[in-house]
Amino acid sequence: MIDAKLVQSLPQITPPVLTAYLETNPADSRNLRHPARYLIWLKSQAKGLEEGLQKNELKALREQVHRLEEYLTENPPQARGVVFFAGPEVWQSIPLHVDTEDELSWGLPSLSQLLWLMEEHRPCGVVLADRSGARLFQYWMGEITQQHKERTKVDTSEWRRKDLMPPSQPGVENIRGSHRDAFDRRMEAQYVRFYAAEAEHIREWADRMSLNPIFLAGPPKLLELVWAELPKSVQSRTVLIREDLEHLSQADFHARVESEVQRWERDYEDDLVDRLLGNADGVHTVLGVDDTLAGLQEGLTRDAVVEHGIAEQVRQCTECGWIDRTPDAICRACGGARLVTGLRAVLPQLARRYKVPLEVVAEEAGAKLRKAGGIGAWLK
């Protein structure tokens, strides 16, 4: 799982540094060849970075490229992608379990793609509940990790057993009739007590990790009991899977969670874009690059939505940081130089700076938003 604190520290890396995003998916047969596709691409792209460099910097670049080639040859990545930050004073690799685009740069650490991927993939929660206890998982960026496990502790040794029939087999007790019902009620009361305590733990965990949605899976009868104990704030973002998933292998469990997440995301994104487009009156919401960027930077935006494949170019002032699509090479506000950059490269940082949640939508929802400018936002 990606360490958020590590990502926050990356801008402080002393340049120059080689940043390499590589698509290394082992499922692609080209990545299983010798040399692998990503190694061939790396060598080819590195040649392009050498143009115009001074002798000392050219030597430093070649050293880091060779260092990376050597590492990749000896340690073929097993993840779908990986990003490296390699320099005289740093060596950092982050495996990426989501689709990654090949990218190579020299100079300042390039964080745009990493931040974009982190915005694009929402952290989700998975709760497995059964009679033995509860297990809590986080699913994010293609990875699933267990974060909590609590077993039920039901002690029946002190319960009155005058109602028990003689054993039909050695060591086996039978409970009949109304006494069986009384025993079941006492057992259920124990589960209610256990999951009432776990419900508060789930709420605290989901809020602290900003998990949405939360998938709750388990036997149908028990699932209803657990659902009833959850706070309404958690129920509103919880999806029920009326099936016991405990028996699945790790690979099958991962695949099942991934399919449930993708199904939820399609429905969620369709609804999100429909609501955005349905309220596009310039008062409640705005659409298009120009109005959305202005609203973000003026502090008027509370939530923003962008199409996954947006490819707009913008200009950013090197002094005050203002971003828009006007063609001026000099900033009208402060006189600073304005450089052309991709909207994807600056949007995640802009959203973080102004503390505006950024939703990235794809497939049908993305296509609908593309027709309306590819980006929009709700206003405060």
pLDDT in tens, the chain (380 residues): 888 889 999 999 999 999 999 999 999 999 999 999 999 999 999 999 998 889 999 999 999 999 999 999 999 999 999 999 999 999 999 999 999 999 999 999 999 999 999 999 999 999 999 888 899 999 999 999 999 988 877 655 555 554 444 444 444 445 445 555 666 676 677 777 888 888 999 999 999 999 999 999 999 988 988 899 899 999 999 999 999 998 899 999 999 999 999 999 999 999 999 999 999 888 899 999 999 999 999 999 999 999 999 999 999 999 999 999 999 999 999 999 999 999 999 999 999 999 999 999 999 999 999 999 999 999 99
Alpha-carbon dihedral 195, 196, 201, 207, rounded to 10 degrees: 110
76 CB burial (10 A radius; 0-12, 13-18, 19+): middle
| pLDDT, position 24 | 97
- C-alpha–C-alpha distance, residues 357 and 237, integer Å: 17
The strand pairing partners of 135, in sequence order, are: 128, 149
Q: CATH code for 279-379?
A: 3.30.1330.30
| pLDDT, position 191 | 74
- C-alpha–C-alpha distance, residues 283 and 353, integer Å: 23
What are the b/e assignments for 257-269, b being 16+ CB within 10 Å?
beebbeebbeebb
| pLDDT, position 6 | 92
Please answer whether residues 297 and 323 qualify as being in contact, where contact means their C-beta atoms are separated by less than 8 angstroms. yes
| pLDDT, position 175 | 46
| pLDDT, position 167 | 46
| pLDDT, position 159 | 52
- 3-state DSSP assignment of residue 54: coil
| pLDDT, position 192 | 78
- C-alpha–C-alpha distance, residues 232 and 230, integer Å: 6
CATH topology for the 124-156+190-247 domain: Nucleotidyltransferase; domain 5 (3.30.420)
Pairing of strands 313-317, 285-287: unpaired
| pLDDT, position 131 | 83
Residue ranges per structural domain of the chain: 4-110, 124-156+190-247, 279-379
- 3-state DSSP assignment of residue 241: strand
Question: Which amino acid appears at position 231 of this protein?
Answer: P
56 CB burial (10 A radius; 0-12, 13-18, 19+): exposed
Type and span of the H or E element at 232: helix 232-235
| pLDDT, position 187 | 66
Please answer whether residues 129 and 122 qualify as being in contact, where contact means their C-beta atoms are separated by less than 8 angstroms. no
Please answer whether residues 368 and 307 qualify as being in contact, where contact means their C-beta atoms are separated by less than 8 angstroms. no
CATH topology for the 4-110 domain: 3.30.960
Sole residue written with tokens 């170019």: 313
| pLDDT, position 103 | 97
Kindly calculate the radius of gyration of the chain based on its CA atoms and give it in whole angstroms.
27
Question: Which amino acid appears at position 281 of this protein?
Answer: D
Please answer whether residues 94 and 4 qualify as being in contact, where contact means their C-beta atoms are separated by less than 8 angstroms. no
| pLDDT, position 25 | 96
| pLDDT, position 232 | 93
What token pair was written down for 326? 């006007």
- C-alpha–C-alpha distance, residues 141 and 4, integer Å: 12
